[in-house]
């Protein structure tokens, strides 16, 4: 009975949290960026309601909440009858509309003008766009309806040929043909440098910066709000002690250290959510899966009335997963032969101050090692060594110096090692049943 | 056709349609060939002969490849069957693509034939689904895909327009890209097999002869030339479909199997289950071809020693290609019938006799002028000589006789040759060569029995122990047996009763005492070890001594008898063709032509042209006694000649002055006039052009070191 | 247990089956499942799974998606020669062929998204859709904005879809320079020895007992684990040597239980197999043949690599030798090697101080055609005319990849080549024409 209730509750909790972390569900009110929010809202309102043209750029690092901001603004904007009735929206994305032809098609589609355009042929891009806006005019009302252009990944549009689209949009926004608002979203602070002069001159240099660098308390606060359940959650007392649990969690020293670490590495909220989401931390709590799976679930599968406490251990685990060097992970899986080759390369790097090397040299180095002191390793044939070498290249742990691979024999192609000393050493320490003489060889100053 | 240009280059002429219509092969043949009247007859003969040779070689090819092809077929059958069997080993390998690495040797031109017959055999006996691809048509992965699909599903019709799309294409259009994925192939295959499956049969019991799922075989003709990346991707893709689609590969490898490792990284090669097949070496192949085509009297057309030598050397030194060898043979054939009017007589005996009767007077005159015939005439007594030179009908009769003789000669020549070879090829240090062709060459050259190698061979033979000798004679008998000619028949008889005598020898009495046998057998035995000639001679000598010393045992008597007999055979039948009258009819002699056609030397001919321009532009003013170039030669010749006297670096200005003096000498203005040898614009321009032409021909090149110098690319005074 | 599994929204026995199908991958499967959540719940936009070859990446994905009957599309990026194929496959497996047929010729990303949007608006997702991309590293080679777009596809098409990228290469090598939406990273670690033992033991020979086979696997791992951890390779080796291992049984010399005897019997063979590990040169059948042959004339084990002898025409051999000399000797030493009477030039005279590493370490140097010919004429014993076929031989050597052409194809005058054959290969060649090449090699002076 109680079990199934808990199960039921779990599912709800999950849904809420997943909504937050996966879909970036809009919060009721944004923290920290109220000013920008107000500014943008004003701007758009003027277009939507009073039919002024505007152009603005929202600039900020990835995960700073640019899209979030815009969405919130739009949400709030559309609460107004006026705006809702008039405003037309066109959403373009630099990733999708890779050139202006496609972009224009998309615009036409989003303005539902395909049938109007039919199969007319236009001399220039400008004509086409003008026609579209004209067509809007021929709506029910005499004055044309305001159009909001949202250009996500704005910087990519700057790479289009002659920046025709940008030029025309900004041009329209300058001249009072039809009320348009152009909102560009980009993560490049130098985006203006990308614009051609004629384009730049037509752009109202209005920029909204989301250089969010919250203080750590804010960051912590953010985490708390992200985790805690809303008040409208059906089961009140459950919600209560969940939130308490979150509270205690955020108090916890070790947790704070972890978060601090993340905070220092990046303030990206996507990253944060992905970290909190990352399997070790959250979900085993909500429902531990195969009970075979390690400490995570054992910690979490602690039965009780409130199984839903986030344990610090899990967050630690999560951060450990986040911060493990993936290269080290890969190194762990290599065969001993490949590892030996890497060590040989390391020695070559030490000797020749990071000069590139080829397979022959590496093999030579390896042979030297075998002659000097090895009881555990075989002396392999050249082809076998070659295969191991190829594998390393495939894993991109080594990379050819010049890409003209076709011309030269593989044995003699110059390579560089993509690992540094510490990584190799660390890998060696962790390596399962690594022969001691190999270890010593790696340690030894000069191969 | 001709061009206005002087320089020898290659020019493309679009053949005008009507010309192509009118000119048939025969017209080409008879165009500008000796004595047109008999040309069409000769053309016919030539054609027939060539067709015969061609068919024979094809047959030969097939049964040469028989063995390896059969093993390959077995391999494919095995794969297709084990795929359906469910034994442990095959289950372990279920995820791997069975692959045959077929090592064919470097004689790439010959491979096509092999693959041709291979795919035919496969289609006959194992599976209808065979596609073979070449590297040059699969530059990118999608091309390879396209080719494979087309050839398997038989949609070749669409190739052309798709080619155009390829030419202009930027990204593959949808409908095509649907075609171009292996999944479509899978569906196609499913439908195929469903259709083919008769409902009665059971999946579980696959019968070897018609597998339920015929494998899909893809042949990569030239593995080395493939782009590794493309190949790897293709294999990766194939391996994803392996359980739905019984694929198998055949790699045609020219060099060595280890190229597979060079081309494929482990991640890819681990998807293959490779088995190795080695084809027989091309030298053996050639040996058989020669044996069938050259060393037989079936073909009236013959090559003389030099021509054969040329063809052989091209094969051995340049390309191991049997196909090219046969092409060379064809060339010789064509040349012979084209250039030699009397080649009308080069055909089957009775046709030849008929043709003799129809010889025109001019042809008879030609015969009279044949050196071999002259020799023959001189041997006759005066009256006969007169008749031969005057009386055409008589001459014709004589000719018939002579032709008959020639044919006989051939009939007997080859069996005897083989006998001799069988005898000598087993001797230590091969005095007369390992291969029969070498012996053949020797015999063609001159009287083989005057050759001292022949003497040594005979000496060695005289020392053979009985068992060895008998064995050899036995083989000779086997050779002679099938031959249908009088001489050979009774030779065969004599040999046989010699053999019987040998047999009797030990049945009658065991009395040749071992003490006699020992010193005779042993030396030959330990001769095998001896290597240097001197040693050999010495031992031979002392053996002769020893033999003279004591009386001969009956065995030795018999042995000498037998060898005498063989020696006579050789002397009577292995005389070189030049010694036979009318041999010019059958023997093609001009090795120079063949060499010029098959093994051209562009650089030397250029140099010849520059050294002695007369040779090409038959202008008498250019005639010179010694090698020197006359002053009136073309500019380039003069420039060339001058540059030969320079060192590695040539100072252009000195060169120019030297040139100017020479040219003005040619203009014949007197040496002591002041403007003699002085450079004015025209000369300068001409010189510059000559130099640039030389550079174009690759005799000189400009250097970084000194701007006013050019570097010479020729060595010494050549 | 029951309770926990009930939560996850899948029937228990299914999960059980999954668990059986994924030996030694329960942890990863668990993580994945918990990430995916319940079918109807929304899930994280993109997940990046990396791990070594044959560490069960795609296998786990396939099993999960198939067994739990989740809507999914699996695409191998090798197969997608053009993005069109990729889009097509995805649409095909989500919305059926009518959707796929809507794609225009050479579709752009926006076409794809448009069609996707309109279809999933018609048939909204009740369950999370999954797109699995194998060999995702190849996505980097296609047009630059494909990968970032895919990573945030969920947002672009706003549908409950998750992209799962599988690769052997770490994520750091994927990240485009302007950054992109960061996927969740998930590592599939390589199998430990015990796990390998467990997995390999599963495919046992029907006619032998399980423990017998596992003991065999145990021996096998004992030998090979140190050098080879690739499951696929190990399986191959197991299949290769098992028959050998069973021989004494077949002859009835030893009992199944007598592991020690069996070990002594098989061990030398495994040691030999060590030399050709990873090379995959022979199928099991030929392997046995080779072993018998090599028992007869006891040479080193011969695989494909041993068949390196190549028959070449006489002059080709010399051309190859000349090429080798040209590419491994410094040009300035030619005088000393090939002039008849070059006076007394000691090595020390023309040995530069700086060159300490031998050319056989650095590899072949390119050389111009005329140098090749010059050396050729001086090494070949007889006098050779510069015939056309000599030149054609050079080009055919190039097609056989014994030489490689360095200069560009359309450079007609003075093309440059390199010799692409190994030391022992050339030695074998020069032995056949009895030309002692060592004397002419600068490195061996």
pLDDT (tens digit, 9 = 90+) per residue, C373-406? Answer: 889 988 887 778 778 888 889 988 988 888 988 8
Residue-number span of the structural domain to which A178 is assigned: 34-209
pLDDT at res. C285: 53
- Beta-carbon contacts of B197 under 8 Å, excluding residues fewer than 6 positions away, are B212
Contact A392/B267 with Cβ under 8 angstroms? no
Cβ–Cβ gap C189/A277 under 8 Å: no
Domain boundary among C151, C167, C187: C187
Given a contact cutoff of 8 angstroms between Cβ atoms, the answer to whether A314 and A299 are in contact is yes
Please tell me the distance from the alpha carbon of residue A379 to that of residue A381, in angstroms, as a whole number. 7
Which of residues 203 through 262 in chain B touch A, CB cutoff 8 A?
A: 258, 261-262
Tell me which residue in A11, A381, A395 faces C168 most closely, judged by beta carbons.
A395
Q: Picking from A319-323, B311-315, B631-635, which range would have the lowest pLDDT averaged per residue?
A: A319-323
Average pLDDT over residues A68-74: 88
Judgement on whether residues A114 and A190 belong to the same structural domain of the protein: yes
Does residue A193 share a domain with residue A60?
yes
Residue A165 lies inside a defined structural domain of this protein: yes
Predicted local distance difference test score (pLDDT) of residue B206? 39
State the DSSP string of C97-148: HHHHHHPPSS--HHHHHHHHHHHHHHS--SS-EEEEEETGGGGGGS-TTHHH
Q: Are residues C370 and C410 in the same domain?
A: yes
Residue B114 has pLDDT above 90, yes or no: no
Percent residues over pLDDT 90 in chain B: 10
Query: Are B247 and B238 spatial neighbours (Cβ–Cβ below 8 Å)?
Result: yes
Give the CATH number, domain containing residue A122.
Answer: 3.40.50.300
B266/A390 touch (CB, cutoff 8 Å), yes or no: yes
The mean predicted confidence, pLDDT, of chain B is: 80
- Which chain A residues are closer than 8 Å to C186 by Cβ? 279
Q: Do C226 and A336 touch (CB under 8 A)?
A: yes
Q: Would you tell me how many other CB atoms lie within 10 Å of the CB of residue C307?
A: 18
Determine the average pLDDT of the residues in A171-179: 79
**A196 and A63 share one domain:** yes
Q: What is the model's pLDDT at position B440?
A: 92
**ipTM for the complex shown:** 0.88
Q: In Å, what is the CA distance from B550 to each residue of B504, B544, B547?
A: 23, 10, 6
pLDDT at B3: 47
- Positive or negative: CA dihedral B280, B286, B291, B293: positive
Best probe of the A interface among B259, B261, B263, B269, by most A CBs < 10 A, is: B261
User: How many domains does chain A fold into?
Assistant: 3
Query: What is the per-residue DSSP string for B138-202?
Result: -SSHHHHHHHHHHHHHT-GGGHHHHHHHHHH-SS--HHHHHHTSHHHHHHHHHHHHHHH--TTS-
A410 and B262 in contact by Cβ < 8 A? yes
Q: Which of B91, B182, B317 sits opposite C313 (nearest CB)?
A: B317
Residue C138 sits at the vertex; the CA angle it makes with C134 and C139, to the nearest 5 degrees, is 90
Of B477 and B28, more confident: B477
Average pLDDT (B516-523) is 43
Neighbours of C127 (CB within 10 A): 17
For residues C258 and C175, state if they share a domain: no
* 3-class state of residue B496 by DSSP: helix
Is residue C272 located within the same domain as residue C149? no
Highest mean pLDDT among A232-236, B407-411, B553-557, C404-408: B407-411
Is residue A312 assigned to a domain? yes
* Closest CA–CA distance from residue C7 to any residue of chain A (Å): 6
Backbone angles phi, psi at A436, to 5 degrees: -65, -40
**How far is residue C104 CA from its own chain's centroid?**
35
Residue A9 counted as domain residue = no
| Pick from B258, B262, B265: CB nearest A394 | B265
Cα distance from A360 to chain C (closest Cα, Å)? 5
H-run or E-run covering C30: helix C26-36
Let me know if residue C198 belongs to a domain: yes
Residue B669 to residue B688: CA distance in whole angstroms: 22
Torsion of CA B584, B590, B593, B598, to 10 degrees: 100
If residue B275 lies in a helix (H) or strand (E), which one and from where to where? strand B272-278
Q: Give the Cβ contact number of residue A29 at 10 Å.
A: 9
Say if the Cβ atoms of C385 and B601 lie within 8 Å.
Answer: yes
Q: What is the pLDDT of residue B530?
A: 45
pLDDT of residue B176: 45
Q: Are residues C117 and C61 in the same domain?
A: yes
B167 pLDDT higher than 50: no
Residue A176 sits in the same domain as residue A246:
no
- The reply to whether residue A96 touches residue C226, judged by beta carbons under 8 angstroms, is no
Least reliable range by pLDDT among A72-76, B89-93, C323-327: B89-93
The answer to whether residue C125 is domain-embedded is yes
Residues A72 and A194 in one domain: yes
Q: How far apart (Å, rounded) are the C-alpha atoms in residues A194 and A191?
A: 5
Q: What average pLDDT does range B436-461 have in this prediction?
A: 88
Q: Which of C321, C303, C304 is nearest to C312 (CA)?
A: C321
Instruction: Indicate which CATH number applies to the domain containing C158.
Output: 3.40.50.300
Domain locations along chain B? 62-165+176-193+211-280, 349-510+551-586, 602-712
Q: Within an 8 Å CB–CB cutoff, is residue B529 touching chain A?
A: no
Whether C321 is in a domain gets the answer yes
Sign of the dihedral through C-alpha B236, B240, B241, B246: positive
Whether C399 sits inside 8 A of B224 (CB atoms) is yes
Instruction: Name subunits touching C (3+ CB pairs < 8 A).
Output: A, B
Residues C206 and C72 in one domain: no
Same domain, A126 and A198: yes
CB contact under 8 A, C79 and B240: yes
A69 and A191 housed in the same domain: yes
Rounded to the nearest angstrom, the minimum Cα separation between C401 and chain B is 7
How far apart are the CA of B262 and the nearest CA of chain A, in angstroms? 8
Taking CA atoms, what residue in C is nearest to B107?
C312
Q: What is the pLDDT of residue C163?
A: 93
CB atoms under 10 Å from CB of B708, counted, come to 11
Beta-strand pair A54-59/A207-209:
parallel
User: Does C354 reside within a domain?
Assistant: yes
Residues A16-47 have pLDDT tens digits of: 777 777 776 777 777 778 888 889 988 888 88
Gap between the terminal Cα atoms of chain C: 76
Whether residues C206 and C150 share a domain: the answer is no
| A contacts of B267 (beta carbons < 8 Å) | 391, 394
What is the β-pairing status of strands B649-651 and B709-712? antiparallel
What is the per-residue pLDDT across B170-212, written as a single tens digit (0 to 9) for each? 333 434 445 567 888 888 888 888 766 544 433 444 344 444 6
Q: Is residue C296 part of a domain?
A: no
CA distance B10 to B12: 7
Could you tell me if A304 and A399 are in contact, meaning their C-beta atoms sit under 8 angstroms apart?
no
* Residue B669 pLDDT > 80: no
Q: In total, how many domains does chain C have?
A: 3
How many angstroms away from the CA of C404 is the closest CA of chain A? Answer: 7
- Fold for the domain defined by B62-165+176-193+211-280: Rossmann fold (3.40.50)
Of B260, B269, B319, the CB nearest to C389: B319
- Supply A376's token pair: 């555990």
DSSP structural state of residue B606: H
Alpha carbon distance C263, B481 (integer Å): 62
Of A299, A322, A345, the last residue of a domain is A322
Residue that is written with structure tokens 């005499």 in the block: A142
Within a domain: C8: no
C282 touches chain B (CB under 8 A): yes
Contact between chains at B261 and A383 (C-beta distance less than 8 A): yes
> B517, B505 in Cβ contact below 8 A?
no
Measure the CA–CA gap between C342 and B366, rounded to whole angstroms: 59
The pTM score is: 0.83
Residue C208 confidence (pLDDT):
84
C43 and C117 part of one domain: yes
Mean pLDDT of chain A: 78
Rounded CA separation B568/B458 (Å) = 12
Work out the pLDDT band at A405, boundaries 50, 70, 90.
low
Residue B308 has pLDDT above 90, yes or no: yes
Most confident of B60-74, B86-100, B513-527: B60-74
* Chosen domain end from C187, C203, C221: C187
CA distance C100 to C88: 5
> Do A295 and A344 belong to one domain?
no
Query: Edge-to-edge, what's the strand order for the sheet holding B649-651?
Result: B649-651, B709-712, B700-702
Strand partners, B98: B273
Q: Helix-strand-coil percent breakdown of chain A, rounded to 5?
A: 60, 10, 35
pLDDT of residue B306: 92
Relative to beta strand A147-152, strand A180-186 is: parallel
Q: What is the enclosing helix (H) or strand (E) of A399?
A: strand A398-400
Classify residue A113 by burial, with Cβ atoms within 10 Å: 0-12, 13-18, 19+.
Answer: middle
Q: What does the buried/exposed string (b/e) look like for B683-705 if buried means 16 or more CB atoms within 10 Å of the residue's CB?
A: beebbeebbebbeebbbbeeeee
- Give residue C171's domain range: 34-187
Tell if the CB–CB gap between B317 and C205 is shorter than 8 Å: no
Residues C76 and C180 in one domain: yes
Q: If contacts are CB pairs under 8 Å, which of residues 112-151 in chain C contact chain A?
A: 113-114, 143, 145, 148-149
> Token pair 């076929």 is at which residue?
C389
Is C180 found in the same domain as C145? yes
Residues C343 and C420 in one domain: yes
For residues A111 and A204, state if they share a domain: yes
Q: Which residues of chain C have pLDDT under 70?
A: 1-9, 276, 279-308, 340-357, 413
- Domain check: are C252 and C321 in the same one? no
- My answer on whether C235 and C363 are in the same domain is no
- Residue C361 has its nearest CB partner, among A286, A360, A380, at A360
B92 contacts C388? CB cut-off 8 A: no
A237 and A178 belong to one structural domain: no
- Is B361 exposed, middle or buried, given 0-12, 13-18 or 19+ CB atoms closer than 10 A? exposed
C-alpha angle with apex C100: C97 to C104, nearest 5 degrees? Answer: 145
The answer to whether C280 contacts B233, with C-beta atoms less than 8 Å apart, is: no
Length of chain B: 718
Q: How confident is the model at residue B508 (pLDDT cuts 50, 70, 90)?
A: low
């Amino acid at each position: 009975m109680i079990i199934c209730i808990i199960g039921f509750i779990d599912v709800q909790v999950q849904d809420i949290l997943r909504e937050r972390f996966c879909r970036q569900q809009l919060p009721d009110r944004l923290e920290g960026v109220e000013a920008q929010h107000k500014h943008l809202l004003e701007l758009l309102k003027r277009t939507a309601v009073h039919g002024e043209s505007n152009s603005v750029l929202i600039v900020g690092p990835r995960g700073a909440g640019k899209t979030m901001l815009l969405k919130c603004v739009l949400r709030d904007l559309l609460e107004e009858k006026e705006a809702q009735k008039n405003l037309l929206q066109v959403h373009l994305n630099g990733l999708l509309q890779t050139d202006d032809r496609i972009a224009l098609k998309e615009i036409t589609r989003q303005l539902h003008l395909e049938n109007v355009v039919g199969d007319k042929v236009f001399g220039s891009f400008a004509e086409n766009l003008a026609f579209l806006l004209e067509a809007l005019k021929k709506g029910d009302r005499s004055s044309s309806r305001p159009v909001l252009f949202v250009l996500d990944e704005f910087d990519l549009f700057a790479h289009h040929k002659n920046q025709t689209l940008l030029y025309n949009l900004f041009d329209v926004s300058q001249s009072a043909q039809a009320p348009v608002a152009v909102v560009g979203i980009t993560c490049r602070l130098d985006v203006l440098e990308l614009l051609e002069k004629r384009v730049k001159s037509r752009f109202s240099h209005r920029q909204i910066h989301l250089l969010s660098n919250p203080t750590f308390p804010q960051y912590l606060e953010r985490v708390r709000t992200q985790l805690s359940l809303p008040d409208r959650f059906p089961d009140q007392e459950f919600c209560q002690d969940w939130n308490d649990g979150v509270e205690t969690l955020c108090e916890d020293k070790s947790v704070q250290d972890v978060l601090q670490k993340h905070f220092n590495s990046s303030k990206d909220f996507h990253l944060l959510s992905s970290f909190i989401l990352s399997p070790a931390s959250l979900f085993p709590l909500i429902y531990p899966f195969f009970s075979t799976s390690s400490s995570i679930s054992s910690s979490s599968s602690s039965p009780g009335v409130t199984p839903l406490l986030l344990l610090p251990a899990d967050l630690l685990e999560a951060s450990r997963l986040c911060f493990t060097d993936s290269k080290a992970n890969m190194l762990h899986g290599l065969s001993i032969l490949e590892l030996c080759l890497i060590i040989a390369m390391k020695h070559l790097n030490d000797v020749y101050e990071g000069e590139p090397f080829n397979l022959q040299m590496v093999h030579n180095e390896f042979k030297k090692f075998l002659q000097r002191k090895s009881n555990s390793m075989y002396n392999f044939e050249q082809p076998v060594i070659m295969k191991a070498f190829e594998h390393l290249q495939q894993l991109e742990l080594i990379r050819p110096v010049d890409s003209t691979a076709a011309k030269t024999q593989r044995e003699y192609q110059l390579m560089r090692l993509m690992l540094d000393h510490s990584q190799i050493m660390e890998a060696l320490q962790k390596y399962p049943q690594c022969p001691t003489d190999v270890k010593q060889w790696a340690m030894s100053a000069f191969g | 056709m001709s061009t206005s240009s002087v320089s020898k280059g290659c020019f493309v002429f679009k053949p005008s349609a009507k010309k192509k219509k009118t000119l048939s092969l025969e017209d080409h043949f008879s165009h500008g060939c000796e004595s047109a009247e008999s040309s069409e007859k000769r053309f016919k003969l030539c054609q027939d002969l060539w067709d015969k040779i061609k068919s024979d070689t094809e047959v030969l090819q097939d049964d040469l490849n028989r063995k390896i092809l059969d093993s390959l077929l077995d391999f494919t059958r095995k794969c297709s069957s084990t795929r359906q069997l469910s034994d442990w080993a095959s289950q372990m390998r279920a995820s791997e693509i069975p692959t045959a690495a077929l090592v064919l040797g470097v004689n790439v031109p010959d491979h096509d034939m092999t693959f041709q017959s291979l795919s035919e055999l496969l289609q006959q006996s194992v599976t209808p689904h065979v596609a073979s691809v070449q590297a040059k048509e699969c530059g990118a992965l999608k091309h390879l895909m396209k080719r494979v699909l087309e050839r398997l599903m038989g949609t070749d019709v669409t190739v052309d327009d798709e080619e155009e799309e390829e030419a202009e294409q930027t990204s593959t259009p949808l409908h095509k890209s649907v075609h171009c994925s292996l999944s479509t192939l899978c569906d196609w295959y499913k439908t195929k097999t469903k259709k083919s499956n008769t409902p009665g049969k059971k999946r579980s019991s696959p019968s070897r002869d018609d597998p339920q799922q015929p494998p899909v075989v893809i042949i990569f003709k030239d593995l080395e030339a493939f782009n590794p990346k493309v190949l790897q991707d293709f294999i990766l893709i194939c391996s994803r479909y392996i359980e739905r689609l019984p694929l198998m590969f055949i790699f045609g490898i020219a060099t060595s199997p280890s190229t597979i490792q060079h081309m494929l990284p482990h991640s890819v090669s681990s998807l293959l289950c490779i088995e190795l097949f080695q084809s027989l070496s091309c030298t053996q192949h050639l040996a058989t071809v020669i044996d069938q085509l050259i060393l037989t009297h079936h073909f009236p057309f013959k090559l003389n020693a030099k021509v054969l030598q040329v063809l052989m050397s091209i094969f051995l030194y340049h390309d191991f290609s049997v196909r090219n060898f046969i092409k060379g043979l064809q060339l010789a054939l064509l040349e012979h019938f084209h250039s030699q009017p009397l080649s009308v007589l080069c055909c089957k005996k009775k046709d030849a006799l008929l043709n003799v009767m129809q010889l025109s007077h001019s042809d008879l005159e030609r015969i009279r002028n044949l050196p071999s015939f002259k020799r023959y005439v001189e041997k006759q007594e005066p009256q006969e000589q007169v008749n031969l030179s005057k009386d055409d009908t008589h001459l014709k009769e004589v000719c018939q006789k002579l032709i008959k003789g020639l044919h006989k000669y051939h009939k007997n020549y080859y069996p005897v040759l083989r006998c001799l070879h069988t005898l000598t090829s087993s001797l230590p240090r091969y005095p007369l060569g390992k291969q029969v062709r070498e012996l053949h060459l020797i015999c063609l050259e001159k009287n083989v029995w005057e050759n001292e190698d022949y003497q040594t061979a005979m000496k060695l033979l005289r020392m053979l122990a009985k068992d060895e000798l008998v064995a050899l004679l036995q083989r000779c008998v086997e050779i002679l047996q099938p031959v249908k000619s009088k001489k050979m028949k009774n030779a065969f008889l004599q040999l046989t009763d010699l053999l019987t005598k040998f047999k009797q020898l030990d049945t009658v009495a065991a009395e040749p005492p071992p003490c006699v046998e020992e010193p005779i057998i042993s030396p030959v035995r330990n001769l095998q070890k001896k290597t240097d000639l001197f040693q050999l001679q010495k031992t031979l000598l002392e053996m002769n001594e020893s033999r003279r010393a004591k009386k001969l045992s009956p065995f030795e008597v018999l042995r000498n008898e037998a060898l005498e007999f063989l020696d006579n055979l050789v002397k009577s039948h292995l005389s070189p063709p030049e010694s036979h009258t009318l041999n010019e009819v059958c023997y093609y002699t001009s090795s120079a032509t063949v060499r010029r056609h098959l093994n051209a030397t562009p650089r030397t001919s250029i140099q010849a042209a520059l050294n002695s321009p007369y040779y090409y532009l038959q202008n008498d003013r250019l005639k010179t006694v010694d090698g020197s170039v006359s002053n009136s030669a073309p500019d380039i010749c003069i420039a060339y000649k001058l540059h030969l006297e320079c060192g590695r670096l040539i100072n252009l200005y000195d060169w120019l002055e030297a040139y100017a003096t020479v040219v003005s000498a040619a203009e014949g203005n007197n040496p002591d006039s002041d403007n003699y040898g002085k450079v004015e614009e025209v000369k300068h321009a001409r010189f510059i052009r000559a130099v640039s032409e030389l550079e174009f021909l690759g005799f000189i090149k400009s250097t970084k070191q000194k701007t006013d110098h050019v570097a010479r690319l020729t060595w010494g005074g050549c | 247990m029951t309770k926990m599994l009930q939560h996850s929204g899948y029937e228990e026995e299914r999960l059980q089956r999954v668990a059986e199908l994924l030996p030694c991958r329960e942890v990863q499967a668990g993580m994945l499942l918990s990430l995916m959540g319940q079918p109807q719940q929304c899930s994280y936009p993109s997940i990046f799974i990396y791990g070594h070859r044959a560490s069960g990446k795609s296998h786990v994905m396939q099993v999960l998606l198939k067994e739990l009957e989740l809507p999914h599309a699996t695409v191998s990026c090798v197969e997608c020669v053009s993005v069109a194929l990729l889009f097509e496959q995805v649409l095909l497996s989500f919305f059926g062929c009518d959707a796929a047929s809507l794609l225009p010729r050479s579709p752009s990303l926006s076409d794809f998204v448009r069609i996707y949007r309109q279809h999933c608006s018609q048939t909204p997702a009740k369950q999370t859709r999954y797109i699995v991309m194998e060999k995702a590293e190849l996505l980097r080679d296609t047009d630059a904005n494909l990968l970032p777009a895919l990573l945030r596809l969920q947002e672009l098409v706003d549908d409950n879809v998750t992209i799962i990228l599988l690769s052997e290469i770490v994520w750091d090598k994927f990240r485009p320079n302007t950054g992109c939406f960061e996927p969740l990273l998930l590592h599939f670690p390589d199998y430990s020895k015990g796990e390998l033992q467990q997995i390999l033991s599963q495919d046992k020979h029907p006619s032998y007992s399980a423990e017998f086979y596992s003991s065999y696997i145990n021996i096998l791992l004992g030998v090979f684990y140190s050098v080879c951890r690739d499951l696929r390779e190990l399986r191959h080796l197991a299949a290769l040597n098992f028959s050998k291992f069973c021989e004494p049984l077949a002859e009835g010399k030893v009992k199944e239980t007598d592991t020690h005897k069996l070990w002594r019997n098989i061990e030398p063979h495994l040691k030999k197999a060590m030399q050709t590990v990873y090379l995959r040169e022979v199928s099991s059948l030929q392997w046995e043949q080779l072993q018998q042959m090599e028992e007869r004339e006891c040479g080193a084990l011969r695989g494909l690599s041993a068949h390196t002898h190549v028959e070449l025409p006489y002059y080709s051999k010399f051309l190859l030798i000349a090429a080798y000399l040209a590419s491994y000797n410094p040009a300035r030493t030619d005088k000393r090697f090939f002039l008849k009477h070059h006076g007394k030039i000691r090595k020390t005279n023309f040995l530069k101080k700086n060159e300490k590493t031998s050319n056989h370490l650095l590899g072949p140097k390119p050389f111009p055609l005329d140098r090749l010919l010059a050396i050729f004429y001086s090494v070949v014993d007889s006098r050779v005319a510069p015939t056309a076929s000599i030149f054609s031989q050079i080009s055919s050597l190039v097609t056989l990849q014994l030489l490689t052409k360095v200069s560009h194809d359309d450079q007609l005058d003075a093309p440059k080549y390199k010799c692409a054959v190994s030391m022992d290969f050339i030695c074998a060649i020069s032995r056949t024409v009895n030309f002692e090449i060592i004397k002419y090699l600068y490195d061996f002076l």
